[in-house]
Amino acid sequence: MTQLTASRSSSSSGGSTRRRRGAAGGVANPDGLWPWLFVLPTLLGLAVFYFWPVLQTGYYSFTSWGVFGGAEFVGLKNWVDLVQSGVVPRALVNTLLYTAMLLLGIPIAIYIANLLNRPGLRFAAFYRVLYFAPFVSMPAAIALVWGMIFNSQYGILNQFLGVFGIQAVHWTSTEWVALIAIGIVGIWSALGFNIIILGAGLRSIPTDLYEAARIDGATNWRQLISITVPLLSPSIFFLFVLSVIHGMELFDLIFIMIGDSNPIKGDTHSMVSLFYREAFISNDKGTGAAIAILLMLIIGILTAIQFWVQRRWISFD
């Protein structure tokens, strides 16, 4: 019996050794095809709806289109025109400024989420719903409402400022002021999502750390800086990445709040609104494709920089 068991174990070990040798020798394992079969529909969807359109847009960026279609290869002409026009650098500055303002909303969200996470706070869930409601609202509706609030003639904001003797501000018809107004709307609309993400991170922090800090005499501000922010760094990094991507895709707020007849429309373009103007208004699809590829590269570079920097300040403990 012992010899039979030994022979079986030796044969099984020999078989596993042969399988390992076969795998090392390049012999395909039939079981290894099953995972690829399961992910094949997803890969096909990505190839058809993501990778191929990117490649196609990259090709179109080197072409010129007529009014009735028909692509003609023109080389780097579209890219040279973008550099020489001066419109793209201004649109990029506007987009980066809006993105920076969105990032300023993250510290505000940290403070509010910390307040909502206090023990014993009544109606905390109701407050979270109020903050989250703008995030799930239609961007067009948000832009219309805030456009009326910022209206220089009958807007409620200027009427409120008039109570204190402040003259009416042309919020959406003054060049840099309009970008600040749009940034305020962006911060307000994204605040609820940031609070929900940060609130979930706050609830995962052990309360023993705060109790020990209070025993050592740490103030609330010191607890926020030394405990809350370091342990929330993964959530903060997640919001940083999403905010940068969302900020670089700015379009609807500018399109609705600024409007077509606004004299500062050309000075408040974002990268996406400039793409819309070139591709669909001017019917220059080659230049529009070049702007789209440029925007994709900028977003990719900024995201890669964030992932590189996160190694230095994110705590996963």
d(C-alpha 118, C-alpha 105), whole Å: 20
- Burial readout 17-56 (b: 16 or more C-beta within 10 A, e: otherwise): eeeeeeeeeeeeeeeeeeeeeeeeeeeeeeeeeeeeeeee
pLDDT in tens, 175-196: 889 999 999 999 999 999 999 9
Residue 202 pLDDT greater than 50, yes or no? yes
Band (pLDDT 50/70/90 cuts) for residue 85 is: confident
Structure confidence at residue 109 (pLDDT): 93
Domain 86-313 listed as CATH 3.30.1540.10:
no
Residues in the chain: 317
pLDDT value of position 3? 45
Residue with more model confidence, 30 or 145: 145
In whole angstroms, what is the distance from residue 193 CA to residue 88 CA?
31
Nearest to 186 by CA among 256, 237, 278: 256
pLDDT of residue 28: 55
User: Residue 82 — very low, low, confident or very high, per pLDDT cuts 50/70/90?
Assistant: confident
Q: Are 39 and 32 in contact (CB under 8 A)?
A: no
Task: Identify the band that residue 106 occupies on the pLDDT scale cut at 50, 70 and 90.
Answer: very high
Torsion over CA: 13, 18, 22, 28 (sign): negative
Q: Residues 6 or more apart from 97 whose CB is under 8 A from it?
A: 179, 183
pLDDT tens-digit series, residues 151-178: 888 889 999 988 888 888 888 888 889 9
Confidence of residue 30 (pLDDT cuts 50, 70, 90): low
More confident residue, 89 or 7: 89
The alpha carbon of 316 is separated from its chain's Cα centroid by a whole number of angstroms, namely 22
Kindly indicate the confidence band of residue 105, based on its pLDDT and cuts at 50, 70 and 90: very high
pLDDT tens, position by position, 213-236: 888 888 888 888 888 888 888 899
Which amino acid makes up residue 41? P
